Amino acid sequence: MKSNYPKFRKSAELVAAICGGLLMSFPAFAQTPVTQQPSSANAKVNPCPSIFYEPQHTNRVLVPQGCPPNALTQRMQSQGMLPSSSVPATPSADQTRMGVGGETPSTTTNSTNSGVNPNPGILNERPYNRSQQPSQTDSSTTYTTPQQVPTQQNSVTEPSLQQQGQTPVTTVALANGNVNVRLVNDTGANVTYQVIGDTDQRSLSGKSDVVLQGLRAPVTVTFQREDGGLLSVTPQPSSETGLLEVRLKETTNLAQDKKAMRIQSNGSVYLN
């Protein structure tokens, strides 16, 4: 009986050591890192986000080239302010699959979440974000040009404006077919402007001005307040040949809100 006691004691110590080792190994297993699966490399971004077609923007924002035209783009094309687009108004199958803009939609859609977002996230993403501010050095302005979809070419035929029965707001004396445009931003907000077929979109800070030199008529310049407010545009011919001063002011009158200016080869200036 006494000889069996040491054996029993050794067996108990062995079992206790094994159990203790197992208990100590559990935290190590729990802390083993799990390798994250790489995100899908097939995520695509549509250059024609649906924000351009939502009710609060379709009549206020021009679509990039290659996108189906929204209401404002179609109206300006019909008036000859922009070149006619070869892109049909009905989105392609590719664009339809991507929701006519934005991120690729999920396979399951909740119908209760179909309301219009007044502040969609696409406006905070490149190239549609408007948070980039111009930096100023003394009296000169340095612009940060956002990534842009290729601009539409300036190929509008002039008779289309006269056929629409529009009356020019003023006339500028051209210098060998060229015109310099001095933009004066009298608002307190940044204004995005673009010379169609010539420049990308640029930002002009509030209470500042810039001169666009050597624009070949006919030419179209577009404007848009970055805070979404209304903009009054007033072209004023200068005593200097070939110079047109354009003052941009705040307004609360929707009828005075303008988005584009067209200078014809005869110097006639139209607003839309």
For residues 271 and 156, membership in a common domain is answered with yes
In a domain, 182, yes or no: yes
In a domain, 159, yes or no: yes
In a domain, 59, yes or no: yes
Q: In what order do the strands lie in the sheet with 219-225?
A: 170-171, 268-271, 260-263, 219-225, 191-195, 202-204
Distance CA 100, CA 91 (A): 7
In a domain, 93, yes or no: no
In a domain, 21, yes or no: no
Side-chain-side CA neighbours of 25 within 13 Å: the count stands at 6
Question: Which DSSP letter does residue 87 get?
Answer: S
- Please identify which residue in the block is written with the tokens 């379709």: 58
For residues 74 and 159, membership in a common domain is answered with no
Side-chain-side CA neighbours of 83 within 13 Å: the count stands at 16
What CATH number is associated with residue 221?
A: 2.60.270
Residue ending a domain, among 78, 99, 132, is 78
Per DSSP, the residues of 137-149 read ETTEEE--PPP-P
- Report which residue type is found at 24: M
Q: Which stretches of the chain score pLDDT less than 70? A: 1-12, 15, 17, 19-44, 85-164
Distance CA 72, CA 57 (A): 9
pLDDT of residue 58: 84
For residues 74 and 163, membership in a common domain is answered with no
In a domain, 103, yes or no: no
Asked if 184 and 209 touch (Cβ cutoff 8 Å), the reply is: yes
Structural domains counted in the chain: 2
DSSP-assigned beta bridge partners for residue 103: 45
For residues 176 and 61, membership in a common domain is answered with no
Residue ending a domain, among 59, 78, 97, is 78
Residue 64, domain extent: 46-78
Residue ending a domain, among 63, 78, 93, is 78
Distance CA 226, CA 131 (A): 9
Q: Which of 128, 124, 109 is nearest to 49 (CA)?
A: 128
In a domain, 202, yes or no: yes
Residue 272 CB burial class (10 angstroms; 0-12, 13-18, ≥19): buried
- Please identify which residue in the block is written with the tokens 């005869």: 266
pLDDT of residue 21: 66
DSSP-assigned beta bridge partners for residue 215: 179
